[in-house]
Amino acid sequence: MPLAETLLISILSSVTVTALLVFLVRRYLGQQIDWQFKRRELAFEAELKRRQQIDAHFVDARLGIYPEISQLCYRIRKATNDGMERDHIAQWDDELPLMCSELTPALIRWRYYLPPALFTRLHDFKRAAQDVAGFHDVRTRPEQLADREAYLAGREALRPTVAELNRLHDAIIEGIALEQQGGAGV
């Protein structure tokens, strides 16, 4: 009996010590894993909050510049279309070259706030507007003012550019509207 009793005590002691060690190691490892996940969770939450703040900044910036974009593009398009119906360059809106020149620095200011497709459309619109402004500049020079045939020929040659300007204007306004509805467009 002493041998069986000693053996039984030995086994029970070993099982108890092993169970206690397994319990302690398991608890320690569980706490370490929980701590690691908690630390990563806090880091992910901080990163998510930072990105949400950046997104909110971009949304606020876009909401602020979209009316400015719309207004400037509309004014350029309207002045161009009105001018195309005039019989003489002197009847065009004198503000047209100034409006067109406002577009370049505005695009530089807006570049990083705009979706790439919308920026590309605006850039193409600016190029068409610059062509119109160039036509206006050449035709308003004193030596050119009296040449009605040159004006009419130049106006006819400008029609495809004006058609492109109108198409781009519509695409820009549509893109802005879709962006404001949730970024589905552009």
- DSSP one-letter string for 101-123: HHHHHHHHHHGGGS-HHHHHHHH
Q: Which of 29, 154, 18, 10 is nearest to 83 (CA)?
A: 154
Structural domain that includes position 65: 55-180
The model's pTM:
0.70
Residue 176 belongs to a domain:
yes
Please, what is the average pLDDT of the chain? 88
> What is the tally of structural domains in the chain?
1
Q: 90-108, pLDDT tens digit by residue? A: 889 999 999 999 999 989 9
Q: 122-131, pLDDT tens digit by residue? A: 999 999 999 9
Residue 172 belongs to a domain:
yes
Say if residues 110 and 65 touch (Cβ distance below 8 Å). yes
Residue 146 belongs to a domain:
yes
Q: How does DSSP classify residue 112?
A: G
pLDDT at 61 over 80: no
| Mean pLDDT in residue range 42-64 | 85
Instruction: Judge residue 168's burial from the number of C-beta atoms within 10 Å of its C-beta, 0-12 exposed, 13-18 middle, 19 or more buried.
Output: buried
Residue 103 belongs to a domain:
yes
pLDDT at 183 over 60: no
Calculate the CA 54 to chain-centre distance: 12
The rounded distance, in Å, linking the Cα atoms of 46 and 31 is 22
pLDDT given at position 139: 87
Residue 169 belongs to a domain:
yes
The rounded distance, in Å, linking the Cα atoms of 8 and 1 is 10
Residue 87 belongs to a domain:
yes
- pLDDT band of residue 55 (cuts 50, 70, 90) is confident
- How many residues does the structure list for the chain? 186
pLDDT given at position 19: 85
CATH number at residue 78: 1.20.120
Residue 42 belongs to a domain:
no
> Which has more confidence, 127 or 111?
127
| Mean pLDDT in residue range 75-94 | 92
Residue 4 belongs to a domain:
no
pLDDT at 117 over 60: yes
Say if residues 80 and 132 touch (Cβ distance below 8 Å). yes
pLDDT given at position 84: 94
pLDDT at 170 over 90: yes
Q: Which of 185, 182, 160 is nearest to 171 (CA)?
A: 185
Say if residues 179 and 185 touch (Cβ distance below 8 Å). yes
Compute and round to an integer the Cα radius of gyration of the chain.
36
Q: How does DSSP classify residue 93?
A: -
Q: Among the listed ranges 34-38, 70-74, 143-147, which one has the minimum average pLDDT value?
A: 143-147
